[in-house]
Amino acid sequence: MQTIVASSRTRDTLLLALFSAVVLTAPLWAKAIGAGYPDLLQKFAIFGLFAIGYNLLFGLTGYLSFGHAAFLGVGSYATVWSFKLLTMNVIPAVLLAVAISALFALVIGFLSLRRTGIYFSILTLAFAQMSYNLAYSVLTPITNGETGLRVLRNDPRVLDAALGVQVEGSPLADLFGITLTGYSGFYFCAALLIFGFWVSLRIFRSPFGMKLVAIKSNQTRMEYTGFNPRPYLLSAFVISGMYAGLAGSLMAIVDPLAGAERMQWTASGEVVLMTILGGVGTLIGPIIGAATIKYFENIFSSFNDQVLQQAFDFLPGWLADIMVTVTSPFVGDGWHLTLGVLFMVIIIFLPGGIMEGVRRIAGLFGRKPEEGQA
Amino acid sequence: MSETSRNIVLSIRGVNKTFGGLKALSNINLEIEEGKTHAIIGPNGAGKSTLLNTCIGRIRPDSGSIRFLDHDLTGGDMKPHDINQLGISRVFQTPEIFPELTLLNNVMIPAFAHKEGSFRFNPFSALRTEKAIEEEAMSLLEDFGLADQAHHHAGNLSRGNKRRLELAMCLIQHPKLLLLDEPTAGMARHDTNRTIELLKKIKLRGMTKVIIEHDMHVVFSLADRISVLAQGTIIAEGEPDEIKGHPKVREAYLGSAEI
């Protein structure tokens, strides 16, 4: 599969327009699949961004980071602190979150990229777990430990105070007077998702992106070809860290609090799953992977035995009981079992993820698969 | 070059290298002239690879000096990308290419290294605007008979074609020195002959080359000058005809075999 292509400007513009249209009309079409409410749509956009950024590192360079949740957490904390100290306006919060996560990524990336392969993954995991434990205990004055960092009514908010903005009730994030909750929150996330997609598209169409893929393909040749792989890898690491920081920031914007659990390794693992499920190294795949996981999480985790009982009502009583017993571990809190099965099925039958399935179906209909486009 | 004096690209003087108690290189003197193809031959374990890696500053000699044009490479602390940026391209025993990329991209990437240096952060520049590089890469692929596969993945090529591709990747950088480490190793006779033809063509471009090889057929078809390495020392050096008849060479390397 060819990842980086020199696509024409018209085709890219079309792709971006199509993407924007699908994202912005999500509140309409998502109703049809039972996902038409803002909380879930926000999650699609936020985790979509997280996965796009992660894919720029893992998909292009092949370096599997197992610690990107650290940047997610850093972005959230930075955002909440901006809400506490500066203003409830989201612009400074987002900029601060992205800048600080870039700084973190620079340090962690610089140290972790001294190693490759599994050792790189372990180093990133170690840094992320360190961050998690620091946030949970030692850095309590900054992170408020296990309670999590919250925005309070009597926080200083110097910019808001200077401008005479008063907070009534519990403080909510806003964009120049528009409160970012519900659908307005979703549209803010969607706008940033489209921007993030555009940046990713540009990288996928650039010599820079091609060099990242070349590092994945053959690092020895890359070195003897005159490139120093380290700064390329570090750039990719920092860029993907900034995406993670942005995603973390958006999490804190739609729900103004930040907790240490956002940094835990399960969150790092989740973005790896999303990227692989959707299609590593493809433009759209990671977003589809993120949306798929969040969608199924939403459906399956809401099921309980009662719902199952109703679903199997058409069966004879004794058979329905068996079916309920068998399926109940896969729903509710146990929905991760379903995720595991889904993941295994996809990886065994479609190693290229959902995007490979799309390409195969496109191939069946006689259309020449447009590699790299998808 | 119109100058009457010889232009020396690579000059190695009095180089010694010991690994543990083993004398890998002893008192090596070598001068590679511009535009010439210089072959280094010798039996297995003669020190060919050590010499090659010393030449490009990857191994630090115990004594002696190595100069490439105006650069002193004696320190032995050169990174592969530094070596390449000085103008030395290298072909490996096993072709090192980018198997997941198309042939065209394989050839374009080295051109970027030549144009932009070892690192440039330009994630927003578009690949489609790099027409000059694409055209040069395409014309090289045509010269090497690979143009019809330009948009296929390089991983599916035959051994011989991978070697041709690797040579194209080196040539697009217009290197001042091309190092070939056993360029026909593991190839069938047919592919070997095709590679020799190709290397002869490159010779017409006046490129300076160092070939490490033990296939005599390849060496005598291509080399302007031959150095014979045995047990870490150069036991003979000269034109191919001189080497063919050299008694010491026959004894140390060629044995009783007819050339």
B25 to chain A, minimum CA–CA distance in Å?
A: 24
Average pLDDT, stretch A254-272?
A: 90
Least confident of A16-20, A88-92, B41-45, B119-123: B41-45
Is A89 domain-assigned?
yes
Q: For chain B, what percent of residues have pLDDT higher than 70?
A: 95
Q: Sorting pLDDT into bands at 50, 70 and 90, what band is B153? A: very high
Among the partner-chain residues A7, A8, A227, the one whose CB lies closest to the CB of B113 is: A227
Among the partner-chain residues A2, A8, A225, the one whose CB lies closest to the CB of B109 is: A225
Task: Kindly give, in sequence order, each residue whose CB lies less than 8 Å from that of residue A279, ignoring residues fewer than 6 positions away.
Answer: A285, A286, A288, A289, A352, A353, A354, A355, A356, A374
User: Is some CB atom of chain A closer than 8 A to the CB atom of B134?
Assistant: yes
Q: Sorting pLDDT into bands at 50, 70 and 90, what band is B3? A: very low
The yes-or-no verdict on residue A203 having pLDDT over 70 is yes
Mean pLDDT in chain A? Answer: 90
**Considering only CB atoms, which chain B residues are within 8 Å of A7?**
128
Higher-confidence residue: A370 or B156? B156
Residue range(s) defining the domain that contains residue B103: 8-254
Helix (H) or strand (E) holding B211: strand B209-212
Is B259 domain-assigned?
no
A183 to chain B, minimum CA–CA distance in Å?
A: 32
- ipTM exceeding cut-off 0.85 for this assembly: yes
Average pLDDT, stretch B225-241?
A: 90
> Tokens 């489609």 label which residue?
B128
8 A C-beta contact, residue A146 and residue A140? no
A57, amino acid identity: L
Which residues does residue B179 pair with via DSSP β-bridges, in sequence order?
A: B90, B210
Least confident of A34-38, A83-87, A235-239, B166-170: A34-38
Task: Kindly give, in sequence order, each residue whose CB lies less than 8 Å from that of residue B21, ignoring residues fewer than 6 positions away.
Answer: none
Structure tokens at A181: 């909750």
Task: Kindly give, in sequence order, each residue whose CB lies less than 8 Å from that of residue B4, ignoring residues fewer than 6 positions away.
Answer: none
- CA gap B194, B207 in Å, rounded: 19
How high is the pLDDT of residue B254?
A: 56
- Which three-class secondary structure state does DSSP give residue B165? helix
Average pLDDT, stretch A19-23?
A: 96
The yes-or-no verdict on residue A2 having pLDDT over 70 is no
Structure tokens at B73: 């490479």
Please answer yes or no on whether B109 and A214 come within 8 Å at the CB atom: yes
From the DSSP assignment, how many helices (H) and strands (E) are in chain B? 9, 10
Mean pLDDT in chain B? Answer: 87
Residue B184 C-alpha from the chain's centroid: 12
- CA gap B232, B24 in Å, rounded: 5
A217 to chain B, minimum CA–CA distance in Å?
A: 5
Please answer yes or no on whether B127 and A4 come within 8 Å at the CB atom: yes
A219 → chain B, closest CA residue: B98
- CA gap B191, A184 in Å, rounded: 66
> Tokens 């190793």 label which residue?
B185
**Considering only CB atoms, which chain A residues are within 8 Å of B109?**
210-211, 214, 222, 225
pLDDT in tens, A25-58: 999 998 888 888 899 999 999 999 999 999 999 9
Which residues does residue B28 pair with via DSSP β-bridges, in sequence order?
A: B15
The yes-or-no verdict on residue A148 having pLDDT over 60 is yes
- CA gap B104, B169 in Å, rounded: 10
How high is the pLDDT of residue B259?
A: 43
CATH code of residue B223: 3.40.50.300
Task: Kindly give, in sequence order, each residue whose CB lies less than 8 Å from that of residue B43, ignoring residues fewer than 6 positions away.
Answer: B214, B230, B252, B253
pLDDT in tens, A337-369: 888 888 889 889 998 999 999 999 988 886 554
Is A300 domain-assigned?
no
A372 → chain B, closest CA residue: B101
Closest CA to B54 of B40, B33, B36: B40
User: Is some CB atom of chain A closer than 8 A to the CB atom of B121?
Assistant: yes
Q: Sorting pLDDT into bands at 50, 70 and 90, what band is A371? A: very low
Is B102 domain-assigned?
yes
- CA gap B29, A129 in Å, rounded: 56
Total domains present in chain B: 1
Residue A285 C-alpha from the chain's centroid: 12
User: Is some CB atom of chain B closer than 8 A to the CB atom of A180?
Assistant: no
Structure tokens at B173: 């950088």
Is A341 domain-assigned?
no
Number of neighbours of residue B41 by Cβ within 10 angstroms? 26
Q: Mutating which of B100, B106, B114, B170 best tests the A interface, going by the most A Cβ atoms within 10 A?
A: B100
Alpha carbon distance, N-terminus to C-terminus of chain A: 11
Average pLDDT, stretch A139-152?
A: 88
How high is the pLDDT of residue A185?
A: 93
- CA gap A54, A274 in Å, rounded: 10
Please answer yes or no on whether A202 and B126 come within 8 Å at the CB atom: yes
Helical segments of chain A, H only: 9-24, 26-29, 38-61, 69-85, 90-112, 117-133, 140-143, 158-163, 182-204, 207-217, 219-224, 229-254, 265-278, 285-302, 305-311, 317-327, 335-349, 354-364
B112 → chain A, closest CA residue: A207
Q: Sorting pLDDT into bands at 50, 70 and 90, what band is B5? A: low
pLDDT in tens, B67-109: 999 899 888 788 999 999 999 999 998 899 999 999 999 999 9
pLDDT in tens, B35-71: 999 999 888 778 888 888 888 888 889 999 999 998 9
User: Is some CB atom of chain B closer than 8 A to the CB atom of A13?
Assistant: no
Q: Is beta strand B177-181 parallel, antiparallel or unpaired with respect to B209-212?
A: parallel
A242 to chain B, minimum CA–CA distance in Å?
A: 15
Higher-confidence residue: A196 or B194? A196
Most confident of A165-174, A296-305, B114-123: B114-123
Structure tokens at A319: 């058979």
Is A179 domain-assigned?
yes
Supply the DSSP symbol for B233: E
Q: Sorting pLDDT into bands at 50, 70 and 90, what band is A268? A: very high
pTM: 0.91
- CA gap B141, B108 in Å, rounded: 11
Please answer yes or no on whether A206 and B125 come within 8 Å at the CB atom: yes
Helix (H) or strand (E) holding B237: strand B233-238
**Considering only CB atoms, which chain A residues are within 8 Å of B130?**
6, 207
**Considering only CB atoms, which chain B residues are within 8 Å of A220?**
80, 96
Interface of A with B in 207-266 (CB under 8 A): 207-211, 213-214, 216-218, 220-228, 231-232, 235, 239
Residue A368 half-sphere exposure toward CB, CA atoms < 13 A: 2
Closest CA to A150 of A248, A84, A90: A84
- CA gap A200, A55 in Å, rounded: 9
Is A243 domain-assigned?
yes
User: Is some CB atom of chain A closer than 8 A to the CB atom of B169?
Assistant: yes
How high is the pLDDT of residue B180?
A: 92
Alpha carbon distance, N-terminus to C-terminus of chain B: 34
- CA gap A150, A152 in Å, rounded: 6
Name all contacts of B241-250 with Cβ < 8 Å and 24+ positions apart: B244/B220
Closest CA to A45 of A291, A308, A280: A291
Is A158 domain-assigned?
yes
pLDDT in tens, B206-232: 889 999 987 888 888 889 999 998 888
Total domains present in chain A: 1
Helical segments of chain B, H only: 48-55, 80-86, 103-116, 131-143, 159-171, 189-204, 216-222, 240-245, 247-249
Is B2 domain-assigned?
no
| DSSP structure string for A225-291 | TT--HHHHHHHHHHHHHHHHHHHHHHHHHHS-EE-GGGGSHHHHHHHHHHHHHH-TT-SSHHHHHHH
8 A C-beta contact, residue A27 and residue A36? yes
Counting one residue from chain A and one from chain B, the pairs whose CB atoms sit within 8 A come to: 117
Residue range(s) defining the domain that contains residue A178: 9-265
Average pLDDT, stretch A191-202?
A: 97
